Structure 1
Amino acid sequence: MGSPISPIIANFFMERFEEKALESSVLKPAVWFRYVDDTFVVWKHGRDSLDDFLHHLNSQSPSIKFTMETEVNNQLAFLDVLVKRNGDLLDHTVYRKPTHTDRYLHKLSNHHPSQKQGIIGTLANRARRICDNEHIQEEPSLLNKAFLANGYNDREIKAALAPRQRRPDVNEQENIINKAFLPYVSQVTDRIGKVLKKHNIKTIYKPTRKIRDCLRPAKDKREPLSSAGIYQKSAVAEHAIRDGDHKIQFEDTQVIATISGYHPRLAREALEIHKHPNKFNRKEETFYLNRIWHPAISRTKVAAPRSRPVPEELPPEQATPPPPTHKYALRRRGGISLV
């Protein structure tokens, strides 16, 4: 959705939507649980009335359309929870898609051991929170089998699966916020991390480059103006509209740089505006560039192209022949070379 506040706005809309839909419905569900745009409903009024209730939901707003899945063999998946109907009770365990392959981060992968143990511990915590008492014993055996296939041994799996209470770190107690980001290299940067820890510096290990990062993307590059999105009217367009007969040659445009981040793009745009003397860009629309950087950037300014008169074409008999090509003798040790 893009904006950080989009989930909040969507939640506000859905709250208003469900209040209006449930109040205006003749038959109401016994249970209505919602997470963002996914709902879990218990319906006790029959299948035919359930289809009418779905039609009622889809008639509330033209931009919101619900789809429906019903239980199969007394089971229904909701998010990562598999709900099972057991008489008048509902059992719940971890849901895995039919295409699940139990492939996780391999033991031989070049990642810090704490990251590998964290994956096992996270899956174990998920099982404890989701599974009921009847299914909680099944998950540890499934995880043990899966991580054995990914190269881990029994001792590492049991240590990561064991529930433990999080002990507060000494650095957190002293409110130490110094951090060092290092690429993980086995037996190299982990030793550096131990040294930094003595000086109250927390080390965060990043994975090194993957083979995928070294390969060229399979997709071809798109034209700069062919991407879908919102385009703001620039000063060049306003200049063309104001002057009337002014044609913008978009086919001759050139992309100076491609920046992915928003704030880095504003900073790079401010640098390019300062470097190019002939421009239509308005400085108030971009990042403010401090004057302290002007002397350094002035050395990289791009010279403005000078307009030269176009010479008239002469007839072939009056055309001046090209000047002869001169050869210069460069003395080298052991002889003379001509260029």
Structure 2
Amino acid sequence: MGAPSSAILSEFFLQYIESNQIINILTKNKILGCFRYIGDILILYDHTSTDINNLLNELNQIHQNIIYTLEPENNRQINFLDVTISTANEELKFNIYRKPTYTDTIIPYSSCHPTQQKLAALRYFSNRPDSYPLEQEEKDKEKTIIQNIAHNNGFPSHIINKFINKPPPQITNTTPKTKNKNNKKLATLTYVGKETCHISKIFKNSNIRIAYKNRSNLQHLLNQKTDKKDIYEQSGVYQLTCSDCKKTYTRQTGSNFEKRFKEHLQA
């Protein structure tokens, strides 16, 4: 897992060796193109002028803790991130790629989550085909897959049709949006249903931005200790009260309380 800064420092280091060592290796081996996203790399090369195994060996000699592996194309296609890239008649074709372990499980419509959170997956799925140069046939296949995913998770037909039939997004302005100088404070509310939404509307015109959280998650469930340690097996500060004069005796012990109480009785 590492520290929160691990990912940033790792990226800095990779960019450093890319600009100082890897670029020279790629040039020497006549690589046509190299594209990296975090730990996945796509390389374009001409097999008549490049020995890909020799390239792999050179890359693995850069640093002992950075090991590269090779996955060549199969049947003139290769998977990179969430896209399958294939070649046919000297043309590139693209399709959405899903791993063999992929399941169609998303937040069910009946789940006690904010509506925007439940619709987030469908919104992403429906926008993704328009982000890649897919042919219309592949886009239609993707729509069918999205319909099945939504149906299997209990979404009503009118919501499914809304996402399936919506027009592709239009890019009207590429100018970066300026950040709102009025920095709002963030507050979180535990989502328990529509009542939480009604409460959040109270803060609509305030300087507070509301975000929802849900306690029914793995972290909350796994952190619940089922085997609570007996208090008498623990150590710490204790207090004894005299049954005759009602005076109290307060002390701290490194032994467990049961052992310390027995010592008092034997004294």
On whether the aligned pair clears a TM of 0.5, the verdict is yes
Residue in structure 2 matched with residue 2 of structure 1 by the alignment: 3
Identity %: 26
Q: CA deviation at 1:204?
A: 1.0
Q: CA contact under 8 A between 1:117 and 1:160: conserved in structure 2?
A: no
Q: CA deviation at 1:137?
A: 3.0
Q: CA deviation at 1:182?
A: 0.5
The AA in structure 2 aligned to 1:181 is T
SS in 2 for 1:140: helix
Q: Which has the higher strand share?
A: 2
Shift in alpha-carbon separation, 1:20–1:60, aligned structure 2, 3 A? farther
1:189 and 2:196 aligned: yes
Residue in structure 2 matched with residue 55 of structure 1 by the alignment: 57
Q: CA contact under 8 A between 1:179 and 1:204: conserved in structure 2?
A: yes
The aligned length equals 221
Q: CA deviation at 1:97?
A: 0.6
Q: CA contact under 8 A between 2:25 and 2:55: conserved in structure 1?
A: no
Residue in structure 1 matched with residue 159 of structure 2 by the alignment: 156
Shift in alpha-carbon separation, 1:33–1:164, aligned structure 2, 3 A? closer
The AA in structure 2 aligned to 1:203 is I
Candidates 52, 77, 80, aligned match of 1:78: 80
Gaps of 5+ in 2: 172-178, 228-233, 237-249, 254-265
1:95 and 2:97 aligned: yes
TM-score norm. by structure 2 comes to 0.69
- How far apart in 2 are the matches of 1:214 and 1:35? 34
SS in 2 for 1:136: helix
TM-score norm. by structure 1 comes to 0.56
Q: CA deviation at 1:48?
A: 8.6
Residue in structure 1 matched with residue 18 of structure 2 by the alignment: 14
SS in 1 for 2:41: strand
Residues 218-297 of structure 1 aligned to structure 2 (within 5 Å): none
Gaps of 5+ in 1: 167-171, 221-253, 257-301, 306-321, 324-339
Q: CA deviation at 1:116?
A: 1.0
- How far apart in 2 are the matches of 1:3 and 1:130? 32
- How far apart in 1 are the matches of 2:181 and 2:68? 51
Q: CA deviation at 1:3?
A: 4.8
Deviations 1:36-55 (A, max 9, x none): 33221122224992222322
- How far apart in 2 are the matches of 1:129 and 1:52? 35
Q: CA contact under 8 A between 2:31 and 2:50: conserved in structure 1?
A: no
- How far apart in 2 are the matches of 1:29 and 1:20? 10
Q: CA deviation at 1:76?
A: 0.7
- How far apart in 2 are the matches of 1:117 and 1:190? 16
- How far apart in 1 are the matches of 2:17 and 2:126? 35
Candidates 121, 124, 129, aligned match of 1:122: 124
Deviations 1:126-168 (A, max 9, x none): 23213423423322221111111111012112334535679xx
Candidates 36, 40, 43, aligned match of 1:41: 43
- How far apart in 2 are the matches of 1:192 and 1:182? 9
Residue in structure 1 matched with residue 187 of structure 2 by the alignment: 180
Shift in alpha-carbon separation, 1:59–1:173, aligned structure 2, 3 A? closer
Q: CA contact under 8 A between 2:87 and 2:93: conserved in structure 1?
A: yes
- How far apart in 1 are the matches of 2:79 and 2:222? 38
